[in-house]
Structures are given as structure tokens and as C-alpha cells.
Structure 1
């Protein structure tokens, strides 16, 4: 067997034993396992394991009889199969790495959001991405902007709990009115805070129109304090009802 052909097959992902067995079958087939071992130089103790593995990959054909005989997949079909498998692996690796990179980047950064509409749109995105729970601290005027997104979340069986600064109604959600003396904002403007699944949060001031400002992140440095502040408001509202 020519060493350069074995090297080429190894570059395609074959082991040395697989390359030798395949070339032996190209030279002469069909062959029994013993015949493949004899012609390829692959040890008899390994040949059936090698051939069975190649058969599972569709690279060797088997004829069950007495004895069992083996034949190679034609070279063009073999190369096409390997090419497709390699492309699938590259695509899977690309998608996995991009997803991992995106999640790491999102988790490690705290992002600023400017403008009322942008903040409300981000609130909707967080609500739509929730899979288990949502806790929110909000004024009625701003609640109306995200009411539909919250209604859809409830329909998805997301647990929604709201610390409301005014009379707010949301069917099948837990809504608690925060006493005025415990409300955050006041003269500083209306505030909004939201946390989804304990993993993504946003908090900010939304009464300044285009100058409204908020911060959002999946970083624990923001998600933990925001969720704790909302839970504190809910606790106060529940116990002072």
C-alpha cells in the first residue's frame, strides 16, 4: 500500500487501521474479515472491530453469509459522505461557538439604554424571552405599554408578579400595590424594574422621554440587586395590604 494514500485518508479522519482496511477492499473485494486482515496488515484481533465501525458509518458494505463478506463504498461516494459530514460538523461548531460567545458576552456586560421607546421595547424583549418567571416594579402608564406582552407571558404559564405603583389589573398574575411612602422615584421620575427568570434584568427611569435612561444585563451584579429590590417591594405590598 502506498503510504501517501494512507496519509490522505488519515487527513480525512480515518484511523490508520481504517485506511488500510479500506484500501485492501478497494484492491480486492468482497473479502472475509480474515482476508481483509491478511491483505491490509491490520491485526486479526482488531479487524472486525474496525470493519464493524466502518460499516456503521456506511463506508463498508456487509454481505451476511458463511463467511461474512465485506466490500468498500465506492470512492466518490465515500468522499462525498465525508465531505457532507465535515460540513455538518463545521456548521454545528460554528453555531455552538457563536451561541456560547453571545451568552458569555451578554453575561459579562451591562448595557445602557437611552430613550423611552427603546426602554419599553427592551422590556418587551425580556418578557418575551422569559421561560419561568417575571417580577416587575412599574407605574400604570408604563404598564399599559407592556400589557399585551405580559398577557401573552401569562398564557405561556409564566409566573408574573408585579409591584404596582397604581391600580393595575392583569388576569392570572400576582399584582400588589406598593404604598406611596415606599414607592421608588417620586420627584425623580417614574422608575421601571424587571427581572426574568432571575437571569436577565433591566432598571431605569422612564419619565424623561428621549432622555430616559436604563441599564440592562444578564450579569449577576445587576440581576441580583434588581430582583431583590423588586421582591422587597412585593413583600412590603403584600404585608401592608
Structure 2
């Protein structure tokens, strides 16, 4: 399957089959279900199911020619406008929905996310929660920014652009021998030997703590609590002070 646009389409709610069918129709033009099946290599039953969903989402249009149905993908500009309308409809009801949010009895929020999207979820949470100005930079240990760039390139680039635009800074402790990531212009690096750098990545900022475990499956633990964040920060600060400065090349 083509992967060039997969991440963007999935963020819009497309399934793998819907992505394949939409791009096929976009490039080929009007086709019946049999033609779509032949062109994509998908079983006709899967094609029918996907086309039905796409019709309900107004992603494809139908033309009847005799007894046959022919399908056509809406143009990219129309798709963009469709998503904008949905976003505006959601924005209209957000104030009312906010009034219905239950009052939190606890001042601690904990979330656990497991699987292939754990990396992505963590970076998205950091993107959404960091505001300028910050009292202190994000402080982290064991974070491999090059791995983020490899696994989630689009969101990783958004993150680097965001902290640059907002004037935010990161302070990361990396394992001795690890090279700083060149795209991270607003990141200061220091290094420690292997025994001081956990196999789990930890980041602390504001009232948040993020813990990302390695292995299979990857697990991301999100904690929102000022006291817990301060505790992690106090534990990481001595490591930062003893770590060696790393020059960017």
C-alpha cells in the first residue's frame, strides 16, 4: 500500500482500504466497483463495504449508467472544505460540551497508551500542552529524537517547529556516544554513561510527566499532577548537573 499520504489520511479517519480506493479513484477517474477491485487488488466485498462508507462520508459520488454504479472521488479541494465544515460544526458545540464536563474530584490524571501509536500520542500530548512562556524548559532523559523523526516524521517536525516558534527549549540527557539531533535547534544536550540513562524515556514539563517504555509493545504513561512533576524534576535535575555538555555539529 502507498505510504506517502497514509498518516495524513488516517488522521482524517480514513481506513487503509479507503485510502487506497480514494487515491485510485482520484488518479484513474470514474470506475465501477469491479474496476476498483481490479485496480487496487482488494477483494470486491471489501471494495463494496468501503465504497458504501465513503459514500456516507461524502468522499465519493455515484453516477448511474444503466444498471451499473460508477464511483468518483471528490477533488482534494472539496475534501479539504468538507473537513473544514466538520471542524466548524464541532467548534460550534465545544462551548456547550465544556459546560457538561464533570468536575474532577482528583487532581491527578493518568493515561496509559500501548502499541504502535504510543510515540505519536506522546508527542501530540506535548505539542498540545506546552504553552509559552514556560517557567522551566522540558527536562528529559533517554529520549531519542532521531527515533521520533523516523517513526512519526510529520508530527516530529511540527514539534520542532512549534518549540522554535514559541521560543521554548528542551534539556535532554542522552547516552554517551549518542549524537544530538540536528533538527532540534532549541534543544540543549548533555550526556551520561549507559548505566545512568534508563531504557525508558522520561520527560517532565510544567505539571506533566511522560514515560515511554521501550520494547514490544511500546507503552506511554502520561501523568498530570504538579507535585509528581516536581518530584520527577528534582530527581532529574542532579543528573542534568552532573552530565557532560554535548556540542552540536
Q: So what's the TM-score if we normalise by structure 1?
A: 0.47
The structure whose residues are more often helix, as a share, is 1
Greater CA radius of gyration, 1 or 2?
1
Q: So what's the TM-score if we normalise by structure 2?
A: 0.46
